[in-house]
Amino acid sequence: MSILQRISVFLITLIFTTHVKAQFKVVGYIRAGGDIVSDLQKVDLGKVTHLNIAFINPDTSGYFRAFPALDTVVSIAHARKVKVLMSCGGGSRHVYYARLLSDGWRPAVVDRFIAFVDRYQLDGIDVDIEGDDIDSNYENFVVALKTPLQSRGKLLTAALAYYTRNRISDKALQQFDFINMMAYDKTGPWRLTDPAQHAPMSYAVDHLDYWSHERKVPKEELVLGLPFYGYGFGPLPDTNGIFRSMSYKDIIARFPGAEKQDEVQFPGNGGTLYYNGVPTIRDKTALALQRGGGVMIWHLLGDSSGTHSLLNVIHETVEKNK
């Protein structure tokens, strides 16, 4: 092989490797409330590719409030080559969306979404409309968002739950650049008679099987959701349901060694806390590398720091498997 041929092979390999690296997404959600700039400083943005701000919604009349801190967030993230998306909707019910997305309201509301993206130089919109908020107008809404976003070179993504998978039409699904599969909350405090792991590996496989095989979503557009929190069942040591939900960082702070497993027992009362520890997050990231195009984190501030950081585990697993 000549020197020129060797150089050509090297350059092609380098371009391919860089492309593959860029294509594996690490999508992290961060809450819009509170001091978001200070919160962002707690996140290692060098290990994130996309930052979703949760949640930015219009008011009941379809208008957005000013979000002054967002300018700073976008500036910080863009300096680290991280894309920033506004995530609309959220897990709680938003009854007013049914009106805002109806035929008479939708065009003006979509215009305001796009104006918000333009105003804050965002990189796209993540549609996290869930549950009963997914109605007959969902498809029309995402179709209406797609054209103006695409013309600007912006992203349109979605957070999709397994239990409402049949509500997402093929046409709606085709509008998204990628989907964040919420492979968690299989059970939880709303189902206390069904104590179990809320994000088992089998549930991640269910999501990948369904969206890839049955709905034909390309591998690179499948982003596997990972929980940085856990749920408690049974008698718990604190009143008012304090430990029905707990962040990963609080779990490992309270229970030494908890990072090595996926559940802990509350001493003397029989309560159990289920979550994903380091080994499972590592295995799920490896699964996403094999069968998907990235991982998604709900949410970034639930992480611990140092050697027990789940974001570090994700990053190290991705780097190791390049």
Residue 150 in domain: yes
- How, if at all, do strands 222-227 and 178-181 pair? parallel
Nearest CA to 131 out of 185, 77, 60 is that of: 185
Residue 66 in domain: yes
| Contact assessment for residue 155 and residue 117, using Cβ atoms and an 8 Å cutoff | no
For the stretch 276-289, pLDDT in tens is 999 999 999 999 99
Residue 16 in domain: no
Q: Among 47-61, 183-197, 215-229, where is mean pLDDT lowest?
A: 183-197
| Contact assessment for residue 117 and residue 86, using Cβ atoms and an 8 Å cutoff | yes
- How, if at all, do strands 155-160 and 124-129 pair? parallel
How far is Cα 142 from Cα 159, in angstroms, rounded to an integer? 13
Q: What was the pLDDT predicted at 2?
A: 53
First-to-final CA distance of the chain:
26
Residue 260 in domain: no
Residue 237 in domain: no
**Alpha-helical regions (H) of 24-137:** 36-40, 69-79, 97-100, 106-119
**Alpha-helical regions (H) of the chain:** 3-23, 36-40, 69-79, 97-100, 106-119, 138-151, 170-173, 201-209, 248-254, 278-291, 310-320
Domain count, the chain: 1
Give the mean model confidence (pLDDT) for residues 212-241.
Answer: 88
Residue 254 in domain: no
How far is Cα 209 from Cα 206, in angstroms, rounded to an integer? 5
CATH assignment at residue 302: 3.20.20.80
Q: What was the pLDDT predicted at 14?
A: 42
For the stretch 244-257, pLDDT in tens is 899 999 999 999 99
Average pLDDT over all residues of the chain: 92
Q: Helix-strand-coil percent breakdown of the chain, rounded to 5? A: 45, 20, 35
How far is Cα 53 from Cα 86, in angstroms, rounded to an integer? 5
Helix axis angle for 278-291 and 310-320, nearest 10°, is 40
Residue 159 is inside which H or E element, if any?
strand 155-160
Residue 2 in domain: no
Q: Among 18-22, 180-184, 267-271, 283-287, where is mean pLDDT lowest?
A: 18-22
For the stretch 195-213, pLDDT in tens is 999 999 999 999 999 999 9
Query: 156 lies in which domain range?
Result: 24-228+276-320
Given pLDDT bands bounded at 50, 70 and 90, which one contains residue 240?
low
Task: Confirm whether pTM is higher than 0.85.
Answer: yes
Q: What was the pLDDT predicted at 194?
A: 85
The three-state secondary structure class of 289 is: helix
Residue 110 in domain: yes
The three-state secondary structure class of 227 is: strand
